[in-house]
Structure 1
């Protein structure tokens, strides 16, 4: 496992989510369909910012970690928290949250 600190928003968020889920890089990689021999290295490269995965791969990673793919692209920590919360809401709760946010922001 790489010790290099993440250098991209995607890398920071990926490492944060992976560590929170307590899943090693190799296991995450295999869960999203990567070959066992390269899984750890690929996830490490995503975390350190050497490579950024295509959005379809980000969606697979999000599904494996049970979080919305949008989380990986949030530059703002507060927005990242909102995206995580949104991801666990049921459909009816999302509608209520959406209405409240629209009211607070004045948007429609």
Structure 2
């Protein structure tokens, strides 16, 4: 099975969760009003991928961590969002718990 870039679907899901149109999201991150909708549509269709700086602006606007866009499965995406909301100490505790789990091979 060929690899499918998770970014377009994750972007669409996060944008809809935030109740924003493609145009509204584009404008929110500083795109020109006349091209915002078309550019976001290209990103969601997977025809173009934004640069990392634009990705970070999108992530911040949608209140998701940058790595959310690259999670290959739903559980990982949910974990990325949940972990991003934790304090530094809580993240460290979670990392320690994960490190202590036996690996399943």
Distance 1:105 1:52, change over 3 A: farther
Q: Distance in 2 between matches of 1:21 and 1:43?
A: 15
**How large is the Cα RMSD of the aligned pairs?**
1.4
Equivalent-residue separation in structure 2 for 1:46 and 1:8 (angstroms) = 11
Consecutive unaligned residues of structure 2, counting only runs of 5 or more, are none
Q: Is the 8 A contact 1:8 1:48 kept in 2?
A: no
Structure 1 residue runs of 4 or more that deviate by more than 3 Å after TM superposition: none
* Structure 1: runs of 5+ lacking an equivalent: 1-6
- Pairwise mapping of residues 55-94 of structure 1 onto structure 2 (< 5 A)? 55-94=52-91
Partner of residue 50, structure 2: 53
Identify if the C-alpha distance between structure 1 residues 105 and 37 changes in structure 2 by more than 3 Å, giving closer, same or farther: farther
The answer for the alignment partner of 2:25 in structure 1 is 28
TM-score (norm 2): 0.88
When the two structures are aligned, how many residues end up with a matched partner?
100
